Structure 1
Amino acid sequence: MHVPILGSTVEIDETAIAEPPAVVREQVREYARGEREAFDLTVAMPGTMTGEVMAAMTDIPYGETRTYGELAAELDTAPVAVGQACGRNPVPIVVPCHRVVGSDGGLGGYSGGDGVATKRRLLEFEQGTTRLSTES
C-alpha cells in the first residue's frame, strides 16, 4: 500500500501487518497530525537479522535516534549489516528505520518515499522543527 506523508509517498507492505489497510492509514494520519508517537499494529518480524533489527528499531523512542553502530553493538553484528536490514524493512514509518543514523550524524540511506529527503523530514517533524499538513 502507498501512504502519503510529508509530501511524498511511502510504500508499506500491508502483508507484514495483521490489521487492515484502513487501520494502518488512519494510524499514519494520526502520526502526521502529531496525535500518535507509536503505532499500535501487529507487525510480522522475519526470523532473520532483518527481524532482529526491526525489533530493535521499534524500541527507539519518538524524536530520538540511534546510530547504526549502536544497534550493531546491541545485536552483536556489524553496522553495515544493520544498514542493510534497515533497507529491507517492509514497513517504514511503522517500524521507524528513519530513526537510525550514521555515527557522524549523517542520515545514511532511506528506502521510503523520496529517500533521504523523506528521512530528514520525518526526523525534523519528530524533533518538532517542522509541522506536517493534516491532509496526509
Structure 2
Amino acid sequence: MHDSEPALDFREPTHPGVSAKSSASVTDAIYSAGYSSNSRFYENSNALLGITPSAFKGGGKNVVIRFAVAECSLGAILVACSDKGVCAITLGDDPEDLLRELQDRFSKASLIGGDAEFEKLVAQVVAFVEAPKTGLALPLDVRGTAFQQRVWQALREIPPGNTASYAEVAARISKPAAVRAVAQACAANKIAVAIPCHGVVRSDGDLSGYRWGVERKRALLDRETAG
C-alpha cells in the first residue's frame, strides 16, 4: 500500500454489538442478535455482527478489524478492513463459515462489527463484485510473504476481462520456474476480486481451481467479458 492512498474513515459502531463469550459459537451469536436462523441472518444484507475480542482466540491484540457480512449475487460476502485498508473479501454459501474463517485468520485481533459508515464501504465492494470493470478505489491491506505480494501485484495488473496462465504470471515476476509457487500464492489470496486470482487459468485455458469455487470464478470472468 502506498502512502498516498487515502485512509479509510472508521467510526465507532452506533448500535450495540453482539457480545459472544469465548465458549459461544458464531451461531449462538447470530441467534442472540435476534435472528431466528443462519439463513435469516444471511438474507438481511445489512446485518452486522459485532463480537467482543474475548470471543476470539488470543484476545484483542495488535490490530482492530472492522467487518460486515452481506449478500451478493455470488452468495454471502464478508468484507473486513484494518486501519490500513481492506484486508479480506471472502465469498461463500454460509455466513457463519466466513465469520469463522475471519476468526481463525485474525485470532489475536479485535474484531468489531461495522457501523453505518462501514456499510457504505461494503456497498462499494458488493457493487465491484457485481460489475468488476467499475474498479474498486479503496486501499488494500495486503498481508503475505514478499513472493506472494509480487504475485498478487501481478494479478492486479491483469486487465478485467483478460486472463493469464500461471506460467505467464511466473514470467511476469521474473520467476519462470516458480509456476507451482504462483499457483499456491493465488490459492492463498484472501481478498477476492480486488486481487483477481480468478483471472489466472491453466495454460490450456482450463479454469483450474478457485478458493471460492470454480462456478464463482466462471461467473466473475463472464461478467468481466460481458461488461
Work out whether the TM-score is over 0.5. Answer: yes
Paired residue for 2:71? 4
Contact 2:166 2:203 in 1 (8 A): yes
Is the partner of 1:127 in helix, strand or coil? helix
Q: TM-score, normalised by structure 1?
A: 0.77
Q: Work out which of the two has the higher radius of gyration on C-alpha atoms and give 1 or 2.
A: 2
CA distance in 2, matches of 1:55, 1:21: 26
Q: Which amino acid aligns with 1:53?
A: V
* Number of residue pairs aligned between Structure 1 and Structure 2: 127
Partner AA of 1:37 in structure 2: T
Equivalent position amino acid for 1:122 in 2: L
* Structure number with higher relative contact order (C-alpha < 8 Å, ≥ 6 residues apart): 1
Q: Cα RMSD between the aligned structures?
A: 2.6
Alignment match, 2:199: 99
Which of 40, 49, 52 is 2:137 aligned to? Answer: 40
4+ runs of 1 displaced by more than 4 Å? 10-13
Is the partner of 2:192 in helix, strand or coil? coil
**Which structure 1 segments of 5+ residues have no match?**
130-136
Amino acid at match of 2:152: M
- By how many angstroms is 1:11 displaced? 4.5
Partner of 2:163: 65
Q: Structure 2: give runs of 5+ residues left out of the alignment.
A: 1-67, 87-116
Report the TM-score when normalising by structure 2.
0.49
Is the strand fraction higher in 1 or 2? 2
1:54-111 CA distance string (max 9 Å, x none): 1111111111111111000111332111110011111011111111111111111111
